[in-house]
Structures are given as structure tokens and as C-alpha cells.
Amino acid sequence: MTQSSFKVVVFGAGSIGCYLGGRLLSSGVNVVMVGRKTMQERLRSTPLTVTDYGGFRFHSQLADHQYVTSAEAAGNADLVLVTVKSAATSEAGRLLAPWVADGIPVVSLQNGISNAEHLQAAMPKANVLAGMVPFNVLQQKPGHFHQGTEGHLMADRHPSLEPALPWFEHAGLPLELRSDIASVMWSKLLLNLNNPVNALSGLPLLEELSQRDYRRCLVMAQRETLQLLTTAGIPTVKLTGLPTKLIPSMMSLPDWLFTRLAKRMLTIDPVARSSMWEDLQAGRPTEIDWINGEVVKLAEKLGTDAPINRKLVQLMHEREKIPKAWGARELLLALMIK
């Protein structure tokens, strides 16, 4: 395969970053992934494999220059994708700032709401844009990254991203440019409110979502968030087969009806799990403060509280220290206690 001259640097190449990098590599894009030494060593000893729930598969032994540990690789990039965990955002911007040329688009493809702002503050000469990855990626085994849920990439609309669009399309990763990215980010966060529920359950996503009491936990967090968004005047957008505001009603249905109707709305691989669960397994701090914690911050700005989301933040921080699998009824009762 002939490699293009269009260069994409993926900074913070863990599960999401390696998956995106592998998909772009599969279509001939000149990709350099930047990440931890441990991942670099892993991909030197085993090929990079990316797959998805629809049957896509790409397998490649990376050259040494295709996975590095230094931000210097971004020096002649045409596009930079930032996929670090939210807690590392400002540090990522500080490391990239000396190397990214003025005006080069830098897209934050991270969980949370405010990462693009923190990146822009750390690298003021770059053109930082907010973006969104709607699907789940799990490292099934060393070097093998699997997309387990549906969805396509979105980013803030800007002319600097136009040259990249054909490459994403060729890679089977269409990138939709949006002028309402704030609404997109909050709508994605509403779906991500399931991350702590899934992580606390210890179950694959499909198995967790098949149990109504787990879904009721998610519904409580979503309805609390939707009320705050209405108060703040922040609209939501449709990211799944169902309008966002109707998702809690769907999740509240009895198991037999939810399972039947959700097949039209959700495509979830049986092995898919949340990134928060994966962080727990790796002994890493989770992104709970940038997901449910964002709801708590919004409530505080509005002079009110978000007790359900606050409780999920508390439970996740406790779970980071002490292993515990929460049963569906047990978790629901914990959230109901004021």
C-alpha cells in the first residue's frame, strides 16, 4: 500500500488512539502514534490489530517510527488527534506546544466537556478543536483493539479539517463536522453516564444493560443531567437511533420490552466494556471527574446540586481504592439514599 504524504499524529495512543491510528493506517495515511513506553514495547513485540463489531480487521507490524514516545513527532504533522486521559490534557498541550506548527488543527477526542479549552490554553498558537468519539474500544489482548459499539466521529466545524475528511472516509471512520459541538459533547456525556454504572457492575456492557435495575441507575443520572441542561439552556442532539431526551424512557422499560426495542437503537458487541472498567483493571485513576463530575460542576454553576451524579463520583473513587462488584439492586438502593 502506498503511504500518503498527509501526516496524522495521534498523541496519547492507548486503546482509542491505537484503534484510530490503526484504522487510518489501513487506508494508507502516514500515521505516527505517540504514547507510553510500555505500549511502544508491546507493539514492537506484537502486531497492531484493529477490529470492529461489523467484521473489519486490519493487522500490521508497526515500524519503529510509527509508535514513538516523544511529542517531537508532531513537528511536521498535518493533523494532531489528542486521545490522552482527561487528567493529562494540560500536560499534553504543554508537550505538544513547541512542536505543532501555527494553525495546524489539533482535535481533542477525549471524554468530558472542557478538554479542548485546556489544550488551547496550553498551546495558544495551535488551532484546537473539540471532537467526539461515540463508540467503545477495548483492548481484547495485547496489541488488539476492538470497536464494540456503533457511531461515527464528530468534530467542531473548521476549514482546517477539510483536507482530512477524505482520509477518514477511506478508513471507514467518517468524520462529521458540526457547528453545534457543545451540544454534541453534552449529548455524548449523557451516554457516558453509564460508564461508572458499567464499571461498578463489573459486567460487559450488553449484560449490564440487560438488567433493568442497572438501567434505572443510569436513568436517574441522565434525568438529573437533562434537567440541569434545560436550566442552563443547553440543547441536546440525536446521536443514536433515538432522540437523546427519550433515552431515559427507553432505558426504564421492562427487560423483555427493552431488549426487543433496543435492538433497533443499539449495536453492542457482547465483549464491549466501558473505558472506565478498563482503567480499573489496569489500576489507573478513572475519568469519573470528567464525566459525572462535569454534571456536578454544572449544577454548582447553576447554584444547585446533582446528588445522583455526585454519589456515582464518590462510589467510583471508593472503587478505585477497594475492589467491589455492585449488584444491580444494591447500586440502585445506594443511589436512592439521600
Q: What is the pLDDT of residues 37-53, one digit of tens each?
A: 999 999 999 999 999 98
Please tell me the number of Cα atoms within 13 Å of 291 on its side-chain side: 28
All three cell numbers of 157, joined, read: 466545524
Q: Mapping DSSP to helix (H, G, I), strand (E, B) and coil, where does residue 46 land? A: coil
Domain that holds residue 281: 184-336
The answer on 199 and 100 residing in a single domain is no
Q: pLDDT of 44-78, one tens digit each?
A: 999 999 999 899 999 999 999 999 999 999 999 99
**What is the DSSP annotation of 252-305?**
TS-HHHHHHHHTTT--B-TT---HHHHHHHHT---SGGGTHHHHHHHHHHTTS-
Residue 330 lies in a domain: yes
Domain co-membership, 116 together with 198: no
Does residue 230 lie in a domain region? Answer: yes
Q: Quick one: 175 and 192 in the same domain?
A: no
pLDDT at 240 over 90: no
Concatenated DSSP letters of 184-210: HHHHHHHHHTHHHHHHHHTS-HHHHHT
Q: Of the candidates 179, 209, 226, which is a domain's last residue? A: 179
| Residue 164 CA to its chain's centroid (Å) | 20
**In the listed set 156, 179, 202, which residue is the last one of a domain according to the structure?**
179
**pLDDT over 80 (residue 338):** no
Q: What is the pLDDT of residue 1?
A: 44
Range 20-27 average pLDDT: 97
Structurally, the chain folds into a number of domains equal to 2
Whether residue 2 is contained in a domain is answered as: no
User: Taking the CA of residue 297 as centre, how many other CA atoms within 13 Å lie in the half-sphere pointing to its CB?
Assistant: 10
Q: Domain boundary residue among 144, 179, 214?
A: 179
* Average pLDDT score, the chain: 94
The residue-averaged pLDDT of 243-251 equals 92
Q: What is the pLDDT of residues 92-127, one digit of tens each?
A: 999 999 999 999 999 999 999 999 999 999 999 999
Helix (H) or strand (E) holding 144: strand 144-147
Is 1 part of a structural domain of the chain? no
Residues 161 and 258 in one domain: no
Q: What is the pLDDT of residues 263-301, one digit of tens each?
A: 655 667 777 889 999 999 989 999 999 999 999 999 999
Q: Supply the CATH number for residue 226's domain.
A: 1.10.1040.10
| 222 and 83 together in one domain | no
If asked whether residues 208 and 154 sit together in one domain, one would say no
